[in-house]
Amino acid sequence: MQQTSAPARAVRALAPLAWIGPAVVLIGVVVVWPVVVMIQSSFLKISRFGVVQGANGTDNYTKLLAEPDFGGVMARSLVWVVAVVAITVAISLGLAQLFDQRFPGRRVARWALIAPWAASVLMTAIIFKWMLDPEVGLINMILRDLGLLDALGGADADPLGNAATAMPWLIFVAVFVSVPFTTYALLAGLSAIPADVYEAARIDGASRLRTYWSITLPLLRPALVVATLINVMNVFNSFPIIWAMTHGQPGYSTATSTIFMYILKGSDIGESAAMSVVNFGMVIVLTVIFLKVSKWKTEVS
């Protein structure tokens, strides 16, 4: 018995691997391996031309932290994430509620919402950049025709040329491309809430606001947490919008950490890798904080 059961046990122990194996391999190759290489590179001295010149200790990190723009870039990344995600979620909650109602043309409206999601983010960003062009931008022309703008071609017609006016536009475009996914995630959550709890609330005489606050939101929480979390990670790593619209300029005043990492790559690959590691750490920290705050594991009472 002993002899036959040992190999049998081994086979049985290995059997699950056949099922999870492909997933493990995939994760190992496309997630774990790049992370390992990224962390490795951050401790190497690499010339701008890609030649590895040996170990560099923690010099890449020291240099990164000493960059005069580093603090501002990190602070801006946080503001960027919080602003974009908060506005996106707020708008999506409203839109999901609206699209959950029955109204004529709902199907068309739901389809229309997919458009910004289906279009390439880079294309969307470039189109907005063109619409804001000081000489020929459509938005500027409309503003001029409404009398809100004196003349084209000047600094007043150039919102992307100045951090104070560029940031709101960047955030607007980021919200614009994030809303469809978030709305659909929340819509799915809404349709999963059973009708009888609403009926019970109605019998108890709860007001609409009260129903939303005490029934809808708590039951929507799983969908809300997932949607928000995915948005936090997406927005933090978001690159094409800012790159296409401002390149992080003027100076670094519209650059987030991802943009900063890419710019550094042009002069010091090791330092850029160090920035990637910091970025990676930030995403993990943000995620953990968010999960703690949202108490995602606790059941709805």
Partner 1 sequence: MNKRLVGAVTLGLSAALVLTACGSQSPSGGDTAEGGEVTLKLVAADYGDGPTADNSGDKFWKGVIGEFEAANPGIKVDVQVINWNDIDKQVATMVQNGQVPDILQTGDYSGFVKDGLLYKSDEVLSPATASDMLEKFADFGKVDGTGYGIPFVSSARALFYNKDLFDKAGIAEAPKTWDEVKAAAEKLKAAGVSQPFGLPLGNEEAQAESFLWFMGNGGGYKDASGNWTIDSPANVEAFTYLKGLVSAGLTTPNPGTKNRKDVWADFAAGKVGMVNGGPMSIPIFEKGGLSNFGVAPIPGKTGPLDTTLGVEDWIMAFNKNGRKEEIKKFFDFFYGGTAAQKISDTYKLLPVTKSGIEKLSSDEKLKPFLDALPNATFYPFQDPKWSEVNTQIKQTIGGAVDGDPKEVLGAIQKVATAN
Q: What is the C-alpha separation between 195 and 213, in angstroms, rounded? A: 16
Quick one: which of 247, 280, 283, 290 contacts partner 1 (CB under 8 A)?
247
Instruction: Name 52's bridge partners.
Output: 46
Counting Cα atoms < 13 Å in the Cβ hemisphere of 131 gives 11
35 near partner 1, judged by CB under 8 A? no
71 near partner 1, judged by CB under 8 A? no
Quick one: which of 71, 154, 168, 218 contacts partner 1 (CB under 8 A)?
154
152 near partner 1, judged by CB under 8 A? yes
29 near partner 1, judged by CB under 8 A? yes
Quick one: which of 5, 6, 12, 21 contacts partner 1 (CB under 8 A)?
21
For residue 300, count CB atoms less than 10 angstroms from its CB and return exposed for 0-12, middle for 13-18, buried for 19 or more: exposed
11 near partner 1, judged by CB under 8 A? no
263 near partner 1, judged by CB under 8 A? yes
Least distance from partner 1 to the Cβ atom of residue 263, Å: 6
- Distance from the Cα of residue 194 to its chain's centroid: 30
For residue 137, count CB atoms less than 10 angstroms from its CB and return exposed for 0-12, middle for 13-18, buried for 19 or more: buried
168 near partner 1, judged by CB under 8 A? no
Q: What is the C-alpha separation between 87 and 101, in angstroms, rounded? A: 22
Q: Which residues bind partner 1 (CB under 8 A)?
A: 13-14, 17, 21, 24-25, 28-29, 32-33, 46-53, 68, 133-136, 151-155, 157-158, 160-162, 246-252, 263-269
